[in-house]
Amino acid sequence: MFRIKDHKTGYLFDPWGHLGPKRRKLMEESWAGLFRQEILNELPVEEIASAFSDDFGRPTKELYMAMGSLVLQQMQDLTDEETSNQVAFNLQWQYALGISGESDEATYICPRTLWSLRQLVTEKGLDTVLFDKITAKLVQIFRVETSRQRLDSVHIRSNMRHLGRIGIVVQAIHKFLVNVKRQHPDLWRSLPADIVERYFPEKALGCFSMVKPSESEKTLSTVCQDLFRLIQSLGGEEKVLSMSSFQLLHRVFKEQCAIKETDSGPVEVSIKPGREVGVNSLQNPSDPEAGYDGHKGQGYQAQVMETYSETGGLSLITYAEAESAGFHDTHALLPALEAVQSRDLKPEQVLVDSAYGSEENREQAQRLGVEVIAPVTALPAEGRLSLADFTLSDQGEVLGCPAGHQPFKAWQRKDRHRAFFAVAHCEGCPNRACCPVKPGQGHYYLGYYHKAFRVARRRQWQRTEAFKQRYRYRAGIEGSFSALDRRTGIKQLRVRGYKAVRYCVHLKAAGMNILRASAIQMKKQAKRRAQRAYSACRNLGRLLFKELCGNFLSFPRPLRPLWSDDYPISFALTA
């Protein structure tokens, strides 16, 4: 049986009257007041209520309060026990969640209840709905301008141990042996005794963490041979093939090993070089969906897009999505633009780094009506000239070389361009050694494709002051990542698995939007108070000035300046 409280209907008697006017004012101006007034009623409790019966079973916690607790938990990066304590004892949390009573039923939520509700929200994908609804509401309330946005990725580590190649194979074997003993005792007795003795006891795995660097290759070869033997011994059993731990075992072997078949003799198992192991290979059997990035390491990454303003207005995160760390940023731009477009938050221009700004991405984004501002990825070698150093027309023709010489001929066929220069000009040119112009039959020529022309024009624009003034706002997203980590702990999570990581990313991004909006709201209210105080002081000054002037003008004799030993002041009134 589910319970839903109507938070839109007011109270006959104010349950927060005991706070007093000053504390009540502080409460309403904080994030708690914004959450209660604008966010609490937007939570999709109807989606979660379908998982419960309306007339059978034990009553649930009030669903608005329970789902709001999940958002506040990720916003403040709390454990389940800490969240339970905040709901029970923190007056600010109770005000934000609309808890008006003081009984245990109203103010207590069990950590197990939080865990169950979180699993339900994750499986139903309601974390995406929560983020979309909260962001749309804040955009509407604060009238956020979404025409200018910026996009970048931040690395995330899930709650998994960092393992090397030996550790990955050993942990995969151990996990499989544990599941076989638990689920299929008859097959457990048929396993090779030496493999069971080496990999099954938890204490025995410690010897693989103390392998010397000089013996690591030999140890890796040994464990891979044991892995192959284990797969061969049980690979024909149908009930084993359906086990997820066996599928992980087969995946590890496919990623780390190679089989070499010989005409005579047994099959040879060799170890793949590290560069041949893919970035999306298994990093830890406890988190199969985590990937690897050569620059940032193991784990996941979050693609985050936010609005920005040159005048310092409210900046909100409009898009947040988790993905494996092995995915390249090049493939993230178009899904982000399509996602915000479907929610009527599409930008007119977006600032990205060079990884997102390929020519293909810029062309496809232009079809969506979005201008992508990004620096060019490939830079010419140091000391070498490039096409960007030539004078180019808008149609892609070369009008002059860096030395100032004009080509005597130029032609274009489809997307290919070629410019011809005189031999006399090129042979005596001081830039000959670093120039891309090549010698031909009776001439020198420069050949390039139209794509190279577009890149050259971008490189020329990149050198201008106008580009630097527009692109300098992209660096602000690095500060957003720092704030996300400090306020919500997004870079180090307590969960494993893609769905759980996605849940945390969406709710932490939504929580960050709430914190930012409440800070702007408090700043505006402080500004209004200062303006009211200034107006009051100004009106009082005008009133005093009017009264003084009226008294002076009402005297029967005019003011007369006096300056003598009898009067220590400059002006006095005549008697």
pLDDT tens across 537-564, in order? 888 888 887 777 766 555 455 544 444 4
Q: How many domains would you assign to the chain? A: 3
457 in any annotated domain: yes
When computed from its CA atoms, the radius of gyration of the chain, rounded to whole angstroms, is: 35
| Domain co-membership, 171 together with 119 | no
**DSSP 8-state code for residue 109:** -
Last residue of a domain, one of 218, 242, 276: 276
Range of the domain at 254: 165-276
73 in any annotated domain: yes
305 in any annotated domain: no
The residue whose two tokens read 């074997």 is: 173
Instruction: Write out the H or E segment, with its range, that includes residue 171.
Output: helix 165-183
Q: Could you read off the pLDDT of 318-357 as tens digits, one per residue?
A: 999 999 998 999 999 999 999 999 999 999 999 999 899 8
Contact by Cβ (8 Å): 230, 249: yes
| Domain co-membership, 185 together with 85 | no
Question: What is the structure's pLDDT at 562?
Answer: 44
3-class DSSP string for 381-425 = CCCCCCHHHCEECCCCCEEECCCCCCCCEEEEECCEEEEEECHHH
What 3-state class would DSSP assign to 132? helix
Q: Could you read off the pLDDT of 156-173 as tens digits, one per residue?
A: 999 998 888 899 999 999
- Kindly provide the b/e burial profile for residues 182-213, where b requires at least 16 CB atoms within 10 angstroms of the residue's own CB: eebeeeeeebeeebbebbbeeeebeebeebee
Q: Could you read off the pLDDT of 409-441 as tens digits, one per residue?
A: 888 888 889 989 988 888 888 888 889 898 888
| Domain co-membership, 25 together with 112 | yes
Residue type for position 111: P
Residues 131, 147, 149, 527, Cα dihedral to 10°: -80
**DSSP 8-state code for residue 436:** -
Higher pLDDT, 459 or 380: 459
Question: What is the structure's pLDDT at 573?
Answer: 42
299 in any annotated domain: no
Last residue of a domain, one of 468, 484, 509: 468
Question: What is the structure's pLDDT at 265?
Answer: 59
| Domain co-membership, 170 together with 68 | no
On the question of pLDDT at 294 being above 70, the answer is yes
Question: What is the structure's pLDDT at 203?
Answer: 77
Last residue of a domain, one of 468, 497, 517: 468
Q: Could you read off the pLDDT of 488-539 as tens digits, one per residue?
A: 999 999 999 999 999 999 999 999 999 999 999 888 888 888 888 888 888 8
182 contacts: CB under 8 Å, gap ≥ 6? none
553 in any annotated domain: no
